[in-house]
Chain A
Amino acid sequence: MKAFYLVLFAPFVSFALLALWPGLRRSGKPAAWTSIAAVAVSLLSAIALFFQYDGGVHEVRWVWIPLAHFPSLTVGFLVDGLSVVMALVVALVAFAVQVYSLGYMSEEPPASLGRYYTYHSLFTFSMLGLVFANNLLEAYIFWELVGACSYLLIGFWFYKPSAARAALKAFWTTRLGDVGFALGIAVLFAHFGFLSYDKLFALEPSHALFLGLLGVYVGAMGKSAQFPLHIWLPDAMEGPTPVSALIHAATMVAAGVFLMVRLMPALQHTPELLHLVLWIGAITAFLAATMALVERDIKRVLAFSTISQLGYMMAAVGALSAGAAFFHLFTHAFFKALLFLAAGSVIHAMHTNDMFAMGGLARPMRWTMILFLVGALALAGMPPLSGYFSKDEILVATAHAPVPFALLMITVFLTAFYMFRAFFLTFTGEPRNPESHPHESPVVMLWPMGVLAILAAVAGFFGSTVHEMLNHSLGFESLHSGEEHHPAWIPYLGLGLGLLGILVAWMGYARRIFRPERVYAAFYPLAKVLEERYFIDHIFLLLYWLGYNTVATVVGFVDRYIVDGVVNFVTWATFEVGKALRRFHNGVVQDILLGVVVGFLILAFFATGF
Chain B
Amino acid sequence: MSFRALLFLSAWMFATGIFGVLSRRHVVALLLSIELLFNGVNLALLTFAWAYGALSAASLAFLGIAVTVAEVAVGLAIFLLVVRLTGKAAADELKQLAG
CB distance from A293 to the nearest CB of B (A): 80
A593 engages B21 (CB within 8 Å): yes
Known: A594-B22, A597-B18. A585 touches B91 (CB 8 A): no
* Cβ of A607 under 8 Å from chain B: no
A590 engages B98 (CB within 8 Å): no
CB distance from A589 to the nearest CB of B (A): 5
Question: Looking across the interface, which residue of chain B has its beta carbon closest to that of A600?
Answer: B18
* Cβ of A587 under 8 Å from chain B: yes
A590 engages B95 (CB within 8 Å): no
Specify which of A588, A593, A594 is in contact with B95 (CB 8 Å cutoff): A588
A589 engages B97 (CB within 8 Å): yes
B22 engages A597 (CB within 8 Å): yes
Q: CB-CB < 8 A to B18: which residues of A?
A: 597
Q: A10 CA to B43 CA in the complex, in Å?
A: 77
A586 engages B21 (CB within 8 Å): no
Specify which of B21, B23, B91 is in contact with A588 (CB 8 Å cutoff): B91
* Cβ of A512 under 8 Å from chain B: no
Specify which of A582, A585, A588 is in contact with B92 (CB 8 Å cutoff): A588
Q: CB-CB < 8 A to A586: which residues of B?
A: 95, 98
CB distance from A363 to the nearest CB of B (A): 92
* Cβ of B96 under 8 Å from chain A: yes
Interchain Cβ contacts within 8 Å, total number: 33
Q: A589 CA to B30 CA in the complex, in Å?
A: 10
* Cβ of B94 under 8 Å from chain A: yes
* Cβ of B87 under 8 Å from chain A: no
Which of A588, A592, A597 has the most chain B CB atoms closer than 10 A to its own CB? A588
A590 engages B97 (CB within 8 Å): no
Question: Looking across the interface, which residue of chain B has its beta carbon closest to that of A592?
Answer: B97
Q: CB-CB < 8 A to A594: which residues of B?
A: 22
User: For the side of the interface on A, what is the size category?
Assistant: 10 to 19
A590 engages B96 (CB within 8 Å): no
Q: Which of A559-605 contact B (CB under 8 A)?
A: 582, 585-590, 592-594, 597
B98 engages A589 (CB within 8 Å): no
Q: CB-CB < 8 A to B99: which residues of A?
A: 582, 585, 587
Q: Quick one: CB contact mask for B28-45 with A, threshold 8 Å, 1 for yes?
A: 001000000000000000
Q: CB-CB < 8 A to A589: which residues of B?
A: 30, 91, 94, 97
B96 engages A593 (CB within 8 Å): no
CB distance from A472 to the nearest CB of B (A): 75
Q: A589 CA to B24 CA in the complex, in Å?
A: 11
CB distance from A591 to the nearest CB of B (A): 8
Q: A275 CA to B77 CA in the complex, in Å?
A: 91
Q: A585 CA to B99 CA in the complex, in Å?
A: 6
Q: A592 CA to B30 CA in the complex, in Å?
A: 14
CB distance from B13 to the nearest CB of A (A): 16
Q: Quick one: CB contact mask for B6-31 with A, threshold 8 Å, 1 for yes?
A: 00000000000010011100000010
A593 engages B92 (CB within 8 Å): no
Q: A597 CA to B97 CA in the complex, in Å?
A: 19
Q: CB-CB < 8 A to B92: which residues of A?
A: 588, 590
Q: A593 CA to B95 CA in the complex, in Å?
A: 14
Which of A585, A586, A590, A592 has the most chain B CB atoms closer than 10 A to its own CB? A590
Question: Looking across the interface, which residue of chain A has its beta carbon closest to that of B34?
Answer: A593
Q: A586 CA to B97 CA in the complex, in Å?
A: 7
Q: Which of B38-57 contact A (CB under 8 A)?
A: none
Q: CB-CB < 8 A to B21: which residues of A?
A: 590, 593
Q: CB-CB < 8 A to A597: which residues of B?
A: 18, 22
CB distance from B32 to the nearest CB of A (A): 14
Question: Looking across the interface, which residue of chain B has its beta carbon closest to that of A587?
Answer: B98
Which of B96, B98, B99 has the most chain A CB atoms closer than 10 A to its own CB? B99
Q: A594 CA to B23 CA in the complex, in Å?
A: 10
Question: Looking across the interface, which residue of chain A has its beta carbon closest to that of B24?
Answer: A590
CB distance from A20 to the nearest CB of B (A): 55
Q: A120 CA to B92 CA in the complex, in Å?
A: 78
CB distance from A121 to the nearest CB of B (A): 64
Q: CB-CB < 8 A to B95: which residues of A?
A: 586-588
Q: CB-CB < 8 A to A588: which residues of B?
A: 91-92, 94-95, 97
Q: A605 CA to B14 CA in the complex, in Å?
A: 18
CB distance from A602 to the nearest CB of B (A): 15
Q: CB-CB < 8 A to A592: which residues of B?
A: 97
Question: Looking across the interface, which residue of chain A has its beta carbon closest to that of B23?
Answer: A590
CB distance from A242 to the nearest CB of B (A): 71
CB distance from B21 to the nearest CB of A (A): 6
CB distance from B19 to the nearest CB of A (A): 10
Q: CB-CB < 8 A to A587: which residues of B?
A: 94-99
A593 engages B22 (CB within 8 Å): yes
Q: A589 CA to B99 CA in the complex, in Å?
A: 12
CB distance from B90 to the nearest CB of A (A): 10
Question: Looking across the interface, which residue of chain A has its beta carbon closest to that of B99?
Answer: A585
A585 engages B98 (CB within 8 Å): yes
CB distance from B81 to the nearest CB of A (A): 16
CB distance from A151 to the nearest CB of B (A): 56
Q: CB-CB < 8 A to B98: which residues of A?
A: 585-587
Q: CB-CB < 8 A to B97: which residues of A?
A: 585, 587-589, 592
Q: A592 CA to B22 CA in the complex, in Å?
A: 9
Interface contacts beyond A587-B99, A590-B22: sample of 16 additional A-B pairs, CB < 8 Å, sorted by A: A582-B99, A586-B98, A587-B95, A587-B97, A587-B98, A588-B91, A588-B94, A588-B97, A589-B91, A590-B21, A590-B23, A590-B91, A590-B92, A593-B22, A594-B22, A597-B18
The residues of A with any CB-CB pair to B shorter than 8 Å are 582, 585-590, 592-594, 597
Interface CB pairs A-B, < 8 A, 28: A582-B99, A585-B97, A586-B98, A587-B94, A587-B95, A587-B96, A587-B97, A587-B98, A587-B99, A588-B91, A588-B92, A588-B94, A588-B95, A588-B97, A589-B30, A589-B94, A589-B97, A590-B21, A590-B22, A590-B23, A590-B30, A590-B91, A590-B92, A593-B21, A593-B22, A594-B22, A597-B18, A597-B22
The 3 closest A-B pairs by CB, nearest first: A587-B98, A585-B99, A587-B95
